[in-house]
Amino acid sequence: MSIQFTKLHGLGNDYHFIEADNYPGVDWPELSRQMSHRHLGAGADGIILIKAGTTHDFAMRIFNADGSEAETCGNGIRCYAKYVFERGMTDKTEFVIETLAGPNAVVLTVEDGKVVSVRSNMGQPKFDRAEIPMAGAPGPVKEEAIEIAGTTMRVTCANIGNPHAVFFVEDATAIELTDIGPKVEQHASFPEKTNVEFVNIIDRDNIVMRIWERGSGITMASGSGSCGAALAAMITERVNRSVNVHLVFGVLTIEWAEDGCVYQEGPATEAYSGTWDHEIPMV
């Protein structure tokens, strides 16, 4: 058996998309580990499965490069929307994608039959420690001291379908992510591990963010990470309720709207399609 896949990315956060219902019995975590390897595989931050929904048209499953399953993925949501629309799997420009974090409504901007940007509703954020989850007394985690490898740092946390630990620094681009990222991700305070963002503020409408993504390591962008970073900046009163998050290859716009939901908007890009004809791991 061989598997047809398409690589798409949201500002460099790349995934292999597979119409999973065509391939019953595949060991998806193991396939993600194989395909995602940057040297021995096709190279990606993970794989995303396109599936029929149960209560909505579509459902999405996300497996990180290490084979772990993620609850949601902001960049993946946008790419998913582009994939299904441009392949005629739907003619709607507004629809809902089911994720482990709940339903995600998307609105597509289409020009000449191509999706040029997607706005998605990431839902209402959670800030209580137990909802991150993070060990400790109840309440929000705002610039709280945490010891990382003998150094005291200050963390602000949010959950937007998945957990985020945010640190404000002078220059996010100067952080040694390969050193500090896994130490925070696997810190004992986070029983389900955590995504890790470093943020510096440009002004009240713009921030710079770099991420160590739970299960994938350094990624060039993250939709949910951008939401987590923006929310942390908002609840610490550093920025306005709508901000531009500057990433390695572009900008995402994050809005914490009056309805209490967080919206992210940005591009999605198709790179190529291919066939994975190595031995397919089966369950």
Q: Are residues 14 and 48 in the same domain?
A: yes
CATH of the domain at 78: 3.10.310.10
Q: Are residues 80 and 189 in the same domain?
A: no
**Separation CA 90–CA 110 (nearest Å):** 13
**Separation CA 189–CA 158 (nearest Å):** 14
Question: Residue 104's pLDDT is what?
Answer: 97
Around Cβ 70, how many Cβ atoms within 10 Å?
Answer: 25
Q: Are residues 50 and 160 in the same domain?
A: no
Q: What residue type is assigned to position 275 of the chain?
A: T
**Separation CA 134–CA 187 (nearest Å):** 10
> Which regions of the chain are under pLDDT 50?
none
Which residue(s) pair with 9 in the sheet?
14, 269
The answer to whether position 283 is within a domain reads no
Question: Residue 87's pLDDT is what?
Answer: 97
Q: Are residues 180 and 102 in the same domain?
A: no
Q: Are residues 31 and 67 in the same domain?
A: yes
The answer to whether position 42 is within a domain reads yes
Q: Are residues 169 and 218 in the same domain?
A: yes
Q: Are residues 93 and 61 in the same domain?
A: yes
Q: Are residues 104 and 140 in the same domain?
A: no
The answer to whether position 234 is within a domain reads yes
Q: What per-residue string of b and e applies to 184-197 under the rule 16 or more CB within 10 Å gives b?
A: bbebebbeebbbbb
Q: Are residues 62 and 140 in the same domain?
A: no
The answer to whether position 281 is within a domain reads no
Q: Are residues 149 and 272 in the same domain?
A: no
Q: Are residues 140 and 229 in the same domain?
A: yes
Question: Residue 149's pLDDT is what?
Answer: 87
Question: Residue 97's pLDDT is what?
Answer: 98
Q: Are residues 137 and 114 in the same domain?
A: no
Query: What ranges make up the beta strands (E) of the chain?
Result: 3-10, 13-19, 46-52, 58-64, 69-70, 94-99, 102-111, 114-123, 144-148, 151-159, 163-168, 195-203, 206-213, 217-219, 242-247, 250-256, 262-266, 269-276
Question: Residue 1's pLDDT is what?
Answer: 84
Q: Could you tell me the pTM of the whole model?
A: 0.94
Question: Residue 99's pLDDT is what?
Answer: 97
Count of domains observed in the chain: 2
Full residue range of the structural domain in which residue 67 is found:
3-122+267-276
